[in-house]
Amino acid sequence: MADIGRASLILDTLAESRTMLSLTELARRTELPRSTVHRLIQALEKELYVVRDPGRRGYSLGPGLLKFGVAAHSSLVSSNRRSLASLARTTGENVDLAVFSGREVVVVDQVESPDRVRSATEVGRSFSLHASCLGVALLALLPDDVVCSLLVRPLERFTEHTVTDPDVLWQRIEEVRSTRIAVDREEHDLGICAVATGFRGRTGALQAVSVVMPSSRFRLKQSRAIEGLERLNPDLA
């Protein structure tokens, strides 16, 4: 693995942690030699991509990353906003745009339908990859070895409908690789259903778009939502 890959692994590990991590903890979680982690942390700290706690308890992500996040977010949102708005008008439901965030998927933009009853999601909310159609749609775009590295077992159960059997989940990923459409029937939140599609956007980022709605309207609107997503996905249109 090249240094850029090791540095990315360190940054991802810090992003996933809710507390600061020491060099020893980073080495354990990334399975990299402590000397390698120390060398890369020093380089990342110099550019303010990571910062060290004054009490020397550990490291966290630094302000140097903000310039990339702000620019990437602005470009990603602006390149998708028109198609998201069109899909929201067509379906009469909320439409979300999401990307990978470590071992989760996070909503980075949302277009609310004028007819919406309540918002099931919001910008900034994250979901487990295995328990959301956004997550499964993104997983289907990745090679098998990367998918394995992202799925941490045991898989958490959020509702009685959450798929936690690895074999069933793999079968589902293969189906989505064929159809490019993932369906969520109350797998993350009871009373909420959604359909999603994943693709590489104009900015080059892997992204997923979903149509979210109450379960009471899902049977009536599922086909319309899928048709809209198929028109939106450049790999299917």
Residue 42 has pLDDT above 80, yes or no: yes
pLDDT in tens, 5-39: 888 888 888 877 778 899 999 999 999 999 999 99
Judge whether 108 and 123 are in contact, CB under 8 Å.
Answer: yes
pLDDT of residue 67: 54
User: How sure is the predictor about 62, in pLDDT bands with cuts at 50, 70 and 90?
Assistant: confident
Residue 161 scores a pLDDT above 70: yes
Pairing of the two strands 50-52 and 126-128: unpaired
Residue 165 predicted with pLDDT over 90 = yes
What is the CB neighbour count within 10 angstroms for residue 212?
27
**Ranges 121-125, 134-138, 226-230: which has the least confidence:** 121-125
Q: What average pLDDT does this structure show over 121-126?
A: 79
Taking each helix axis from N to C end, the angle separating 66-91 and 215-232, rounded to the nearest 10 degrees, works out to 110
Q: What is the pLDDT of residue 135?
A: 95
> pLDDT higher for 149 or 63?
149
Question: pLDDT by residue (tens digit) across 202-212?
Answer: 767 789 999 99
What pLDDT was estimated at residue 162? 94
Residue 145 has pLDDT above 90, yes or no: no
Q: What are the contacts of 87-92 at 24+ separation with CB within 8 A?
A: 87/111, 87/209, 87/211, 87/228, 87/229, 87/232, 88/112, 88/113, 89/113, 90/224, 90/228, 91/211, 91/213, 91/221, 91/224, 91/225, 91/228, 92/221
- Of 188, 185, 205, 207, the residue nearest 197 (C-alpha): 207
Give the whole-number percent of the chain exceeding pLDDT 90. Answer: 49
Q: Examine the pLDDT at 181 and tell me if it is beyond 70.
A: yes
pLDDT for res 174: 96
Whether 103 shows a pLDDT value over 70: the answer reads: yes
pTM above 0.95, yes or no: no
Most confident of 102-106, 142-146, 181-185: 181-185
Quick one: pLDDT at residue 1?
Answer: 58
As a whole-number percent, the residues of the chain with pLDDT over 70 amount to: 89
Which of residues 114 and 224 earns the better pLDDT score?
Answer: 224
